[in-house]
Amino acid sequence: LGYAELVEERRVANEKMLFVEGCKNPRSVTILARGSSEMVLDEVERSLNDSLNVIRNVVLDPKILPGGGAPETYLSVKLKEYSNTVGGKEQLAVQQFAEALLVVPSILAETAGLDPVDALAELKAKHEAGSHAYGVDAVKGKIADMYNLGVVEPLRVKTQVLKSATEAALMILKIDDVIAATPPKADKGGKGEGGQGPGSEGGMGEF
């Protein structure tokens, strides 16, 4: 059936749990998450799920990219170069798409306490010079080589993010009409603002 160095029943909080440790080549494991409250446990569970999904994506597609907004900057620079080869409205569309990609490194730079304009200028200069792995180092607040810092992200995730964002933008652009719902009209017999109801005129009534 298998091999284990230790099989032991332990009490964790108010529950009894069976621990199997020291297995050879285990194909499945259990992660025991503990926290001071349900809210903390929920956050731990979400973080674990995110981490496992990242590992899964790398296993399925073992290709990575530098993080820190480096892929978006590279694509923006290359798209602007490509826009010079086309003309008309297509050129404007390509240029605007390239500008939209720079929102990612711009937000990262601003979050890191950098001036977004200066950071983007330095970042684009690095990429135009061939340093395609440079991105925003949010920890030290500077432009640096993401591979040297170990800041990477799966290619599969980045591809899906760009596809989803592009599809969402296309859906909005395809909207050719908007129907606005008007608020319901006030009841004519009701009281107006600052007014009085019927039969409530000033002065004393007749007896």
Are 162 and 74 in a shared domain? Answer: yes
Tell me the β-bridge partners of 19.
8
Angle of helix 155-173 relative to helix 38-60, nearest 10 degrees, comes to 100
Are 85 and 144 in a shared domain? Answer: yes
Are 135 and 157 in a shared domain? Answer: yes
Mean pLDDT of 65-87: 93
Are 99 and 168 in a shared domain? Answer: yes
Domain boundary among 14, 33, 60: 60
Outline where DSSP puts E strands in the chain.
6-12, 15-21, 64-66, 134-137, 142-145, 152-154
Q: What is the pLDDT of residues 27-60, one digit of tens each?
A: 888 888 888 888 999 999 999 998 888 888 888 8
Looking at 60-64, 107-111, 155-159, 191-195, which range is the least confident one? 191-195
Are 42 and 70 in a shared domain? Answer: no
Mapping DSSP to helix (H, G, I), strand (E, B) and coil, where does residue 11 land?
strand
> Domain range holding 107?
66-173
On whether residue 162 sits in a domain, the answer given is yes
Are 47 and 94 in a shared domain? Answer: no
Are 86 and 55 in a shared domain? Answer: no
Are 51 and 76 in a shared domain? Answer: no
Are 74 and 161 in a shared domain? Answer: yes
Mean pLDDT of 107-133: 94
DSSP secondary structure code for residue 24 in this structure: S
On whether residue 89 sits in a domain, the answer given is yes
CA atoms within 13 A on the CB side of 108: 24
* CA distance linking residue 96 with residue 43, whole number of Å: 37
We report the CATH number of the domain holding residue 91 as 1.10.560.10
Mean pLDDT of 125-148: 94
Count of domains for the chain: 2
Are 87 and 11 in a shared domain? Answer: no
Which has the closest alpha carbon to 108: 142, 75, 74, 147? Answer: 142
* CA distance linking residue 55 with residue 149, whole number of Å: 19
